[in-house]
Amino acid sequence: MKDRPPIDRDSFEPPYAQLARTIRERIAGGAYRPGDRLPSEAELCAAFSVSPMTVRRAIGELVRADVVVTEHGRGTFVKPPQLAAASFDLGDLMRYLASPDVEARILEARIVSAGPRVAEKLAREEGERVISIKRLLLRGDEPVFYHSEYLVFDPARPLVEAELATTALQDLFSGAHGSDLKFGRLTLHASAFTETEASQLGEQPGTLAWVLEHLFFDFDDRPESWGRFVGRADRLSFTTTVGIPGPQEGV
């Protein structure tokens, strides 16, 4: 390991974290490639003048970060990019929701009888009362997303104006929606605009759209709310990185 950065004993960053970062940087720089075996524990101890415990903690950090894998009796190996494990964030959608020039216009907020699909999603009987909210998200005068949401009706928790604002949508995806939600499922798929969606967004019925469905559950694992964001196919893009990019890619 030539030209290695030294371990800075005066740094607030502990030695094991410095060692893990150094190994990660060498992987990013191509010194170690997918499938390569890293130097042994003894070699790393000698090269960096650190204890075996420091090396083990550094390797443990890299294992938890899914950068390397340890095989008993063989050593530690650099993992290849796991395409099947790639995950995507909702940065584009969150930027729309957080933008100060995006307005959430309430089209509908009322109690309705649950139809077959809503009843199935919310695990309710068909015809039970649920809260229906329809929103149109606009940037300036341009419609961006159509959002429909159905919530379980609870007379003890009346619908308040704050729940209808753009901030309520931000909270929904940032974890600040409240302590009554335990987990959620998000489903992204392509679809065609319905007549209602197309009319609200100024599109043609049947043209391609992105649909992001969200289903949230309470702490009794019961569905609490179900909704759909619908927008033009070019409104959302999804990018992720697999493997460890080099410094030229912004690492």
CATH of the domain at 198: 3.40.1410.10
List the one residue out of 1, 54, 3, 6 whose CA is nearest residue 32. 1
Tens digits of residue pLDDT in 3-41: 555 788 878 888 999 999 999 888 888 888 888 999 999
* Residue 181 and residue 72 in one domain: no
Mean pLDDT of 133-140: 88
Burial environment of residue 163 by CB neighbours within 10 A (0 to 12, 13 to 18, 19 or more)? buried
Summarize the confidence of residues 179-185 as an average pLDDT: 73
Whether residue 226 sits in one domain with residue 131: yes
Could you tell me the pTM of the whole model? 0.61
Are 76 and 130 within one domain? no
Is a pLDDT exceeding 70 seen at residue 163? no
Question: What's the whole-number mean pLDDT along residues 128-140?
Answer: 89
Q: For residue 122, what pLDDT is reported?
A: 94
Domain identity same for 74 and 112? no
101 residue type, one letter: D
How confident is the model at residue 175, as a pLDDT? 52
Domain boundary (83, 118, 133) is at 83
Instruction: Name the average pLDDT for the chain.
Output: 82
Average pLDDT of span 211-222: 88
Q: Are residues 217 and 114 in the same domain?
A: yes
Q: What percent of the chain has pLDDT over 70?
A: 77
Residues 59 and 169 grouped into a single domain: no
Alpha-carbon gap, residue 129 to 114, rounded angstroms:
6
pLDDT per residue as tens digits for the range 50-61 = 999 999 999 999
**In a 3-state reduction of DSSP, which class is residue 140?**
coil
14's CB contacts (< 8 A; 6+ apart) are none
Domain count along the chain: 2
Query: What range defines the domain where residue 181 resides?
Result: 91-232
* 146 & 226 share domain: yes
Q: Are residues 121 and 211 in the same domain?
A: yes
Instruction: Taking residues 89-117, report their average pLDDT.
Output: 82
Q: Which of 83, 109, 125 is the last residue of a domain?
A: 83
CATH number at residue 60: 1.10.10.10
Q: Indicate if the pLDDT at residue 108 is higher than 70.
A: yes
pLDDT (tens digit per residue) in 67-98: 899 998 899 999 887 665 566 666 667 777 77
pLDDT value at residue 200? 93
